[in-house]
A and B are shown apart, each in its own frame.
Chain A
């Protein structure tokens, strides 16, 4: 090698761009059932191999295979399938509502439904999730969260629990263990660790579930979260949803080239798993493993969920400008709903007819919820929380300067 060779800057590129098919071999997939399942008290270092392989349960035939296949009642899986279908239908309907200008903005989780809905089944009441804007499945998996209320948030109408202060999809449901969503990426990851530390400080039995995307792992709060979770052995599940894309940016630009996000966990002394995010059974099994570990004072777990962002980043995004239009069809881990459906049909616990009937019932449910939410007005129609409410909740008690500004707005003072 010429020692005077000019240096050059390496800027990673996705193999697929519009008009060119993606080469998904970079994912390094393991066959279903191939990866071992360590005991929940495994040392972090003993999970190194798991951070570079892929936990999968459902094989191509829809059979549950290997050590990670969970002992789970088919009824529970039917609940899970329904939750995924509900999430997808909700997204599809809200996307249309945005196009109809009934709501100003929306973000789907198309293709990622298994991750949030299966983990929701693995958590317990009182646990707290610190989601990003793409874990609506955590809420939609729960029948005690009113879909009408969720849509009222999207419409910023007079029934919006956030009183019109937040962009659509930035839900907050303390009673459902769903922390208030922030627009600032990654901030919730370290907050989740703090919440888990608090639970440990108080000798509680609740755990936290932290969420972040592949792109946001580059934010400093990702690293602070791993450090604090490791240092204090916080009871937290650190979920990295690797959907391969951060808006237009391929995951290699986030630091995913020739490595994995799960490997970061091992490097920080955290037990880590890399899991098929489109395999409902694997998500459920890995989430249970991590939850049991956290609840047993055995420390945090980082899980990289390998999935694919099938839809646009948001209603403001056109992915055909930076990636192949048919990319999802070629993603080797497929569609989480199709895969669980196939499995349940093979078990004899589901049928095409039942699927169709469920689909129709859920469509009717979402449609009815949207209709009811619209009765409470919308931003477009000018029916929203009063402007005076803008000054509330900045502080617990409204300070004098905000009282004065509110009087000015209401025209009671020059």
Chain B
């Protein structure tokens, strides 16, 4: 049936709550109210307060308590209201969740999922727009995942909840209600009618560590994820460059063979993400491509990213890497 990303995420949690008695969901405003983005709407009424409940405003507390629950044997799915607010939980994520299995040699594990709405393009300013994925991909022991559409959102979230490793599940809130290609001057489009908005009602999974070719192409390879998948698609159409767009879906660990096969085919690579540039996840992607595809590369690897500044409010569209900036990088990559 047709679902928005919000409905798809809610459906994933609904299915997993029904499938596994050990799944519990909590976070700020996720219980009675159903979440500030409606992602958990109706779940408390359906499953009760011991399965879905509101939490104090304490990201460190939410993640720390979830680790303890996971150590007991539950499968917590917790929400941090905005990715911009995960920082108080960083110690629990890095020092604890990520390392529980390793430091105890498997004696204790943390099968848990931390959902975080992320990304900009909504005039969210400094603390409602960040893309902190590089702060997670750098941490050994956790998985970082980001969907770009309702079908993947539901399938990936169910795969993450089932996975026995701790997972950071980043949700581009700009894509919650419809795809967004960076053309902020045009009317918003809904997921309705889109093939990717067609989501099965029941259980299915989208495997982790598997990228997808979002748009096949011959001229160059675009490595991207989240909102930038659609921005890159618009850039391909507008530039007339036949870009092959890879939606990574799992950021780390990732699907290296799919990336490498594409770049070896096209010989050119453009990395696109909203996050700031320096030491961003794009640097790792560029390094991997350089290492694995060196003799196939016909041009330097381009990176189109957010600027190395805090996310501004008024200057949103000068900051956000829109289709014009991405298309310009496509052209540079083709000219060399």
Contact = CB atoms under 8 A, between A and B. Distances in A.
B66 A162 contact: no
Given A231-B56, A394-B141, A195 B61 contact: no
B107 A173 contact: yes
Interface string A178-211: 0110111001001111111111111000001000
B69 to A, nearest CB: 4
A201 B74 contact: yes
A322 B66 CA distance: 39
A48 B196 CA distance: 59
A166 interface: yes
A179 B165 CA distance: 18
Interface string A245-282: 00000000000000000000000000000000000000
A193 B109 CA distance: 17
Contacts of A201: 24, 50-51, 69, 74
B58 A227 contact: yes
Contact of A208 (B64, B68, B101): B68
A399 B209 contact: yes
A193 B64 CA distance: 9
Interface residues of B, number: 43
A194 B165 contact: no
Contacts of A196: 68
Contacts of B143: 395
Given A190-B64, A193-B68, A195-B69, A396 B165 contact: yes
Contact of A130 (B68, B73, B91): B68
A310 B256 CA distance: 55
B200 interface: no
A165 B92 contact: no
Contacts of A401: 253, 256
B281 to A, nearest CB: 14
A165 B103 contact: yes
A220 B60 contact: yes
B117 to A, nearest CB: 22
Interface string A304-339: 000000000000000000000000000000000000
Nearest to A195: B68
B80 to A, nearest CB: 14
A393 B101 contact: yes
B9 interface: no
Nearest to A161: B105
Nearest to A219: B91
Contact of B73 (A198, A208, A393, A395): A198
B107 A174 contact: yes
A170 interface: yes
Contacts of A1: none
Interface in B91-105: 91-92, 95-96, 99-105
Contact of A221 (B60, B164, B256): B60
B189 interface: no
Given A187-B92, A394-B140, A172 B60 contact: no
A228 B55 CA distance: 8
B164 A195 contact: no
Nearest to A180: B104
Top 6 A-B residue pairs of the complex, sorted by shortest distance between their CB atoms: A194-B68, A194-B65, A224-B61, A190-B64, A198-B72, A191-B68
Interface of B: 24, 50-51, 55-56, 58, 60-61, 64-69, 71-74, 88, 91-92, 95-96, 99-109, 140-141, 143, 163-165, 209, 253, 256
11 contacts: A161-B105, A161-B107, A162-B103, A187-B96, A190-B65, A194-B66, A195-B68, A202-B72, A227-B61, A394-B140, A400-B209
Given A190-B92, A225-B61, 4 more contacts: A179-B71, A199-B72, A221-B91, A224-B58
